[in-house]
Structure 1
Amino acid sequence: MDSFTHAFAIAIPLLLAGNAALVPFAIIGAVIPDIDATFFIIPDDEPSQYIFTHGGVTHSIVGATLLSLVIFCALYFLSGISWFGQFFPQEVTLMAGAAIFAGAMLHIFLDYLAYPGIPLLWPFSTEKFTVGIFPGPSLPILFLSLTLFVLVLTGRAGERHYTAYLAIFLAIILVYGGIAAYANIETNGEAIPTIHPTRWITIVETDESFIVRPYSIPDGTGRETVYQKYLNITPDELAGIAMLPEVKRLYYHSYIVTAERRGDQILLHDPLREEKIFRYPLDHSSLLIPVPEIRS
């Protein structure tokens, strides 16, 4: 989800409940997990730290909790400094900390609705999890949030607008959730959403290949494309490079990965991202590495 939506999703329920003083803290908590968008230089320079990327460590339950605690402690400390204290609408109490935490957790939940997923269980696992309702940021929800943002900026937003926003917001999630449920029933749970709500991509994995088919409502399954997993190389030969940091980084970002031996090098890549079938994540879609030496 976009930052406007994350902010409004936590602020509006608080406003309607009469807790306006907690709104600034909740908004900080709701947007702060996206601070990881500034971390890209870390995994670029050090592949083993691939979890420090957008939608990575700060989008886990543990990471968001720790981040909330750090923000709360920082605000509590700053509020005690006379010059900074004037900017705080109320005393930084445990209720303010709870609002920060609630905003962060709601952020995690909303991003959990979208592909390519988030590593909820870090540091215990870097596996990505998603409900798979949205293909990333939802365009209808983004438009809805921007409309409310304009109303707020122009001073025209009121309780009825907040109520309408919340109702439409939940309705969009329910509608997309229903479409996703139908698509997954029809494709045996293989459907991945695209920008168009009625068009999906299905991926079926076999021992030798990935079978990719478009799916649309109501037209059904389209023509398949087969991507061979291995070309001039065997799974056993890949075992020697599976734990390399750059290889793990590639798999973390990819929908599928194919391997091809080219002389004394191995090409690993995600053809779905390279062919722009999926445009995100943008980076680390291919990798060319030397064939590992076999030790006797």
Structure 2
Amino acid sequence: MDSFTHAFAIAIPLLLAGNAILVPFAVIGAVIPDIDGIFFFFPDNEPSHYIFTHGGITHSIAGAAFLSFAAFIALKFLSGISRFGQFFPEGVTLIAGFAILAGAMLHIFLDYLAYPGIPLIWPFSTEKFTLGIFPGPSLPILIASLALLSLVLTGRVGIGHYQAYMIVFLAIILIYAGIAAYANTETEGRAIPTMNPVHWITIVETDNSFAVQPYDIRHGTGGETLYRKYTNITPDELASIAMLPEVKRLYYHSYIVTAERRGGSILLRDPLREEKVFRYPLDHSSLEIPYLSPLP
């Protein structure tokens, strides 16, 4: 979801419930997980930094909780300084801290609705999880959020607009959830949404291959494309390089990964991103590394 949507999703329920005093704190929590967008001090050419990219550790439950605590401590400190204390007439109470945490957790939940997913249980695992309703940011929700933002900025917003926004917001989520449930019921494997809600991509994984098919809710599945998992290499041989940072980064960003040994090197690739079936994430869609045979 976009930052405006994250902010509105927590602010509007608080406003409608008569807790306007908590809105600034909740909004801080709602946008703070996206601080990873400025993690430029973790250079992308270092493979082990892959978890610090957008949608990485700050989008885990533990990461968001830590950021919420840090934000609460920072605001508590600032409120005790005379120059800044005027901005906190009610003080930074424990309830304000819970509002920050609520905003951050709602952010995590909303991003959990979309592909390619987020590492919810980091630091225990970097595996991405998603409910798979949206193909990334939701265009209909973004349009609704921008419309509401224009009303706010021009001073024309009222309670009725907030109520209408929440109805539209929840309705879009429920509609897309219903479409996702139907698509997954009618297909095998994983059904991945595209920007067009009636068009999906299905992936059926076996021990040796990935079968990829387009799926149209109105017309059914299309032609199948088969990708071999292993070419001139065995799973055991691939396992010998699985813990290399560059390999972990590729798997982290990919929908599927195929492996092929070519002479003295191994080519790993995500053909779905290379062929622009999916355009995000943009980088690190393939990797070629030297292969050294394990000692007997």
TM over 0.5: yes
- Contact 2:118 2:128 survives alignment (8 Å): yes
Once the 2 structures are TM-superposed, how far is the Cα of residue 279 of structure 1 from its aligned partner? 1.1
SS for the counterpart of 2:260 is: strand
Kindly provide the amino acid, as one letter, of the partner of residue 264 in structure 1: G
Unaligned 5+ residue runs, structure 1? Answer: none
CA distance in 2, matches of 1:123, 1:152: 39
CA distance in 1, matches of 2:268, 2:113: 29
Provide, for residues 100-132 of structure 1, a one-character-per-residue CA deviation record: whole Å limited to 9, x for no partner: 000000001100111111111111121111111
TM-score by length of 2: 0.96
* Counterpart mapping for 1:51-90 below 5 A: 51-88=51-88, 90=90
Provide, for residues 215-239 of structure 1, a one-character-per-residue CA deviation record: whole Å limited to 9, x for no partner: 0111000011111112222222212
Kindly provide the amino acid, as one letter, of the partner of residue 236 in structure 1: D
Runs of 4+ residues deviating >6 angstroms: none
TM-score by length of 1: 0.96
Once the 2 structures are TM-superposed, how far is the Cα of residue 38 of structure 1 from its aligned partner? 2.0
For 1:247, the equivalent position in structure 2 comes to 247
- Contact 1:176 1:197 survives alignment (8 Å): yes
Please say which of residues 117-126 and 172-181 is displaced more in the overlay: 117-126
Q: How many percent of aligned residue pairs carry the same amino acid?
A: 77
CA distance in 1, matches of 2:263, 2:43: 28
Kindly provide the amino acid, as one letter, of the partner of residue 68 in structure 2: S
CA distance in 2, matches of 1:29, 1:153: 21
Instruction: Number of aligned residue pairs: give it.
Output: 296
SS for the counterpart of 1:213 is: strand
CA distance in 1, matches of 2:242, 2:266: 12
CA distance in 2, matches of 1:87, 1:45: 41
Kindly provide the amino acid, as one letter, of the partner of residue 143 in structure 2: F
- Contact 1:241 1:292 survives alignment (8 Å): no
Kindly provide the amino acid, as one letter, of the partner of residue 265 in structure 1: S
CA distance in 2, matches of 1:105, 1:64: 7
- Contact 2:188 2:202 survives alignment (8 Å): no
- Contact 1:40 1:54 survives alignment (8 Å): no
Residues 1:111 and 2:117 are matched in the alignment: no
Please say which of residues 192-201 and 239-248 is displaced more in the overlay: 239-248
SS for the counterpart of 1:289 is: strand
Provide, for residues 243-283 of structure 1, a one-character-per-residue CA deviation record: whole Å limited to 9, x for no partner: 11110111011100011222222111101111111111122
CA distance in 2, matches of 1:6, 1:93: 23
Kindly provide the amino acid, as one letter, of the partner of residue 121 in structure 1: I
For 2:292, the equivalent position in structure 1 comes to 292
Once the 2 structures are TM-superposed, how far is the Cα of residue 210 of structure 1 from its aligned partner? 0.7
Residues 1:173 and 2:139 are matched in the alignment: no
CA distance in 1, matches of 2:295, 2:284: 29
SS for the counterpart of 2:52 is: coil
CA distance in 2, matches of 1:188, 1:214: 12
Unaligned 5+ residue runs, structure 2? Answer: none
* Counterpart mapping for 1:270-285 below 5 A: 270-285=270-285
For 1:163, the equivalent position in structure 2 comes to 163
CA distance in 2, matches of 1:126, 1:17: 37
Kindly provide the amino acid, as one letter, of the partner of residue 262 in structure 1: R
- Contact 2:268 2:286 survives alignment (8 Å): yes
- Contact 1:194 1:201 survives alignment (8 Å): yes
CA distance in 1, matches of 2:276, 2:163: 38
